[in-house]
Amino acid sequence: MSTPPRIQINAARLHQHIQELAQIGKIGETGVCRLALSKEDREGVELVKAWMEEAGMEAHIDPFANLIGRLKGNNPDAPGLMLGSHIDSQPYGGRFDGAIGVLGAIEVVQSLVDSGITPECDIEVVAFCDEEGCRFNKGLFGVRGMTGKLEANELERTDKNGITRREALMQFGCNPADFEDYVFQQGRIGTFLELHIEQGPILESLDAPIGIVTGISGPLWLTVEMTGFAGHAGSVPMSMRRDALLGSAKIIVALNELVQQVPGAPTVGTVGSLTVFPDSRNIIPEKVSFTIDLRDIDLSRRNALETELLSVIENVSREHGLTYTIREDTNSEPRYCAGWIMESLREEAGAMGISPPELMSGPFHDSLAMSYVCDYGMIFVRCLEGISHNPKEYATPEDITLGTELLYRTARRIALEKTGSQA
Dist. CA 27–CA 21, nearest whole Å: 13
314 closest CA partner among 304, 303, 305, 325: 325
Give pTM, 2 decimals.
0.85
The domains found in the chain, sorted by start residue, are: 11-217+334-417 (3.40.630.10), 220-331 (3.30.70.360)
Measuring CA to CA, how many Å separate 70 from each of 110, 175, 180?
A: 12, 22, 23
Phi, psi angles (nearest 5°) of residue 371: -60, -20
Cα-based angle 143, 145, 149 (whole degrees, multiple of 5)? 95
Q: How far does Cα 101 stand from its chain's mean position? A: 11
For each of the chain's 423 residues, which pLDDT tens digit applies? 467 788 999 999 999 999 999 999 999 999 999 999 999 999 999 999 999 999 999 999 999 999 999 999 999 999 999 999 999 999 999 999 999 999 999 999 999 999 999 999 999 999 999 999 999 989 999 999 999 999 999 999 999 999 999 999 999 999 999 998 999 998 999 999 999 999 999 999 999 999 999 999 988 999 999 999 999 999 999 999 999 999 999 999 999 999 999 998 989 999 999 999 999 999 999 999 999 999 999 999 999 999 999 999 999 999 999 999 999 988 989 999 999 999 999 999 999 999 999 999 988 899 999 999 999 999 999 999 999 999 999 999 999 999 999 999 999 999 998 544 443
Cα-based angle 17, 127, 379 (whole degrees, multiple of 5)? 80
Euclidean distance between the first and the last CA atom of the chain, given in angstroms as a whole number: 39
